[in-house]
């Protein structure tokens, strides 16, 4: 049997250590829907907080929003999603499986031996049909077409329809942006690769509203800023690149689009899109709603519908990216050490407090230290098993620091700080540990 690849190992680590579980696992799971466990929740929250800080808190020209998932169905007509948010789909009459017509060479026919759809002599693929990716549901007690609502397939529309509300209430002026983090749903035909492509996911989107004609300049600025954000997350720069959408790839709304791609074990794939949407969205909503969505620019003494530059990243995709990028195995004294070399700023646990043994006042000292630190940092207390094993458990979930209280601690009032990446150790005074961590975690 072939050795398991990085993705298999990561999926298993994520389950074993409480990062990500399959949804409804006891019922056999639900296709491409995943739940985040205790450590995964912390990791994803840290990623989202970091994004929110960079996009909203640290800037004067971006405001936050938390729009509802359910929106008036006319939103999705005006946005072009009802007519155009489709993938071409083919069915196989033999095996009843469905495939994306434009991704047959990546698809897998369920028949054995393993081949691409259409390659077995018994395959009978239909002509491609367009399949809308939006999930439909009903609002109110009657299940009829008049009460159909959609689970939003992107968070952006909630921003467009609220742009004047935010502008007026925050007293912003163009150029300015609105940022939002929230759930989106797509009935993907060929989901997969763990949390890379799922049917329920979270987006971190920002729409930047600019004066017509300023779009190209802002588009370039946002490209630079967004790539820098991913690099500052600690991702390996060699595994990041730009992909420019060719004319035929461009979405119905886009004037120009670039994807930030990461090289996953399953190939180069998009993790974030930066799109120049022009005035497509606001113009369409203005026409469909009959409400003016113009901005009065006092400085220019002009009225116009702003143009929009969008940055759209998936929180789950970024979480997968940091996990893949951080995962490594090393040989240490004849044993394999698994390490998640996460940027300490997003690590789910920042420091573990470990009494060397459960006697001689060590647990008391360790508990006091833990109680002192936990209000400021995500900490973990572990007194179970040999110290080497405890270090390894922390390495595997990316904890940058272990703080060990040993026999000498009562005498010199110091603990051993053990570093995840180098495994180096140093003694630090107990009263200085919080400051020591703060300096290294930037918090």
Q: Under the rule (CB under 6 A), what is the footprint of ligand ATP? A: 154, 186, 188, 197-198, 201, 203, 270-273, 312-314, 316-317
C-alpha–C-alpha distance, residues 282 and 17, integer Å: 45
Closest distance between ligand ATP and the C-beta of residue 29, in Å? 16
Cβ neighbours around 217 below 10 Å, total: 12
Q: How far is the CB of 180 from ligand ATP (least distance, A)?
A: 13
Residue of minimal Cβ distance to ligand ATP: 314
Q: Which is nearer to ligand ATP, 155 or 404 (CB)?
A: 155
Q: What is the largest CA-CA distance in the chain?
A: 78
383, 385, 386, 390 alpha-carbon torsion, rounded to 10°: -70
Please say whether the beta carbons of 380 and 401 come within 8 A. no
Name the residue nearer to ligand ATP (CB basis): 171 or 248: 248
For the beta carbon of residue 37, count every other beta carbon within 10 angstroms. 18
Q: How far is the CB of 253 from ligand ATP (least distance, A)?
A: 10
Site of tokens 């936990």:
374
Q: Pick the closer one to ligand ATP by CB: 269 or 338.
A: 269
Other residues' Cβ atoms within 10 Å of the Cβ of residue 299: 8
Cis preceding linkage at 227, omega within 30:
no
CB under 8 Å, gap of 24 or more: what pairs does 409-418 form?
409/362, 409/365, 410/360, 410/361, 410/362, 410/365, 415/369, 418/391
Shortest reach from residue 209's CB to ligand ATP, in Å = 19
- Whether cis (ω within 30° of 0) applies to the bond prior to 28 is no
- We find the least distance from the C-beta atom of residue 378 to ligand ATP, in angstroms, to be 25
CB of 31: closest distance to ligand ATP in angstroms?
Answer: 12
Of 91 and 270, nearer to ligand ATP (C-beta) is 270
Minimum distance of ligand ATP from residue 137's CB (angstroms)? 18
Rank residues 272 and 395 by Cβ distance to ligand ATP and give the closer one. 272
3-state secondary structure of 233: coil
Both tokens assigned to 214: 């300023």
- Dihedral of the CA atoms 286, 55, 180, 134 (nearest 10)? 80
Nearer residue to ligand ATP within complex by CB, 176 or 262? 262
Q: Which is nearer to ligand ATP, 41 or 367 (CB)?
A: 41
Residue 197: CB minimum distance to ligand ATP, A = 4
Give me the helices (H) in 205-354, please. 215-232, 280-289, 315-326
Q: Which CB, 312 or 404, lies closer to ligand ATP?
A: 312
Q: Minimum distance from CB of 320 to ligand ATP (Å)? A: 9
**CA–CA–CA angle 315, 242, 308 (5° rounding):** 65
Residue 210, CB-side half-sphere exposure with 13 Å CA sphere: 20
Q: Which is nearer to ligand ATP, 50 or 393 (CB)?
A: 50
Give the pair of three-digit tokens for residue 39.
């450590």
Any residues with CB less than 8 A from the CB of 58 and at least 6 apart, and which?
none
């Amino acid at each position: 049997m072939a050795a398991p690849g990085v993705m298999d190992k990561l999926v298993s680590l994520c389950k074993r250590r409480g990062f990500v579980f399959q949804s409804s696992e006891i019922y056999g799971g639900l296709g491409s829907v995943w739940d985040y466990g205790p450590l995964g929740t912390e990791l994803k929250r840290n990623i989202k907080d970091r994004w929110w800080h960079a996009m909203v808190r640290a800037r004067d020209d971006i405001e936050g929003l938390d729009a509802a998932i359910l929106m008036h169905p006319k939103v999705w007509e005006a946005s072009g999603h009802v007519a155009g948010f489709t993938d071409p789909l083919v069915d196989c009459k033999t095996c009843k499986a469905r495939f994306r017509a434009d991704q047959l060479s990546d698809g897998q026919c369920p028949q054995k031996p393993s081949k691409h759809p259409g390659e077995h002599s018994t395959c009978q693929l239909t002509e491609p049909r367009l399949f809308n990716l939006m999930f439909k549901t009903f609002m109110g007690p009657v299940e009829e077409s008049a009460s159909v609502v959609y689970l939003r397939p992107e968070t952006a529309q909630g921003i467009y329809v609220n742009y004047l509300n935010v502008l007026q209430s925050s007293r912003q002026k163009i150029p300015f942006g609105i940022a939002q983090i929230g759930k989106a749903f797509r009935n993907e035909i060929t989901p997969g690769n763990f949390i890379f492509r799922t049917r329920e996911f979270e987006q971190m989107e920002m729409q930047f509203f600019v004066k017509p004609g300023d779009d190209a300049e802002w588009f370039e600025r946002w490209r630079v800023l967004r790539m820098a954000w991913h690099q500052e997350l600690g991702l390996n720069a060699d595994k990041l690149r730009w992909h420019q959408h060719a004319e035929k790839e461009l979405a119905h709304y886009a004037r120009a689009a670039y994807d930030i791609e990461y090289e996953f074990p399953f190939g180069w794939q998009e993790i974030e899109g930066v799109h120049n949407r022009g005035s497509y969205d606001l113009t369409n909503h203005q026409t469909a709603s009959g409400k003016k969505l113009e901005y009065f620019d006092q400085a220019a003494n002009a009225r116009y519908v702003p143009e929009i530059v969008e940055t759209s990243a998936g929180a789950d995709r970024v979480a997968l990216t940091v996990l893949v990028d951080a995962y490594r195995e090393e040989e240490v004294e004849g044993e394999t050490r698994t390490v998640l070399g996460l940027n300490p700023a997003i690590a789910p646990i920042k420091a573990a407090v470990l009494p060397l043994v459960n006697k001689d006042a060590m647990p008391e000292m360790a508990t006091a230290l833990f109680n002192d630190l936990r209000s400021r940092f995500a900490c973990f207390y572990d007194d179970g098993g040999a110290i080497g094993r405890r270090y390894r458990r922390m390495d595997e979930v990316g904890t940058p620091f272990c703080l060990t209280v040993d026999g000498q601690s009562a005498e010199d009032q110091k603990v051993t700080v053990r570093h995840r990446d180098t495994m180096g150790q140093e003694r630090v005074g107990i009263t200085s540990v919080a400051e020591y961590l703060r300096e290294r975690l930037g918090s």
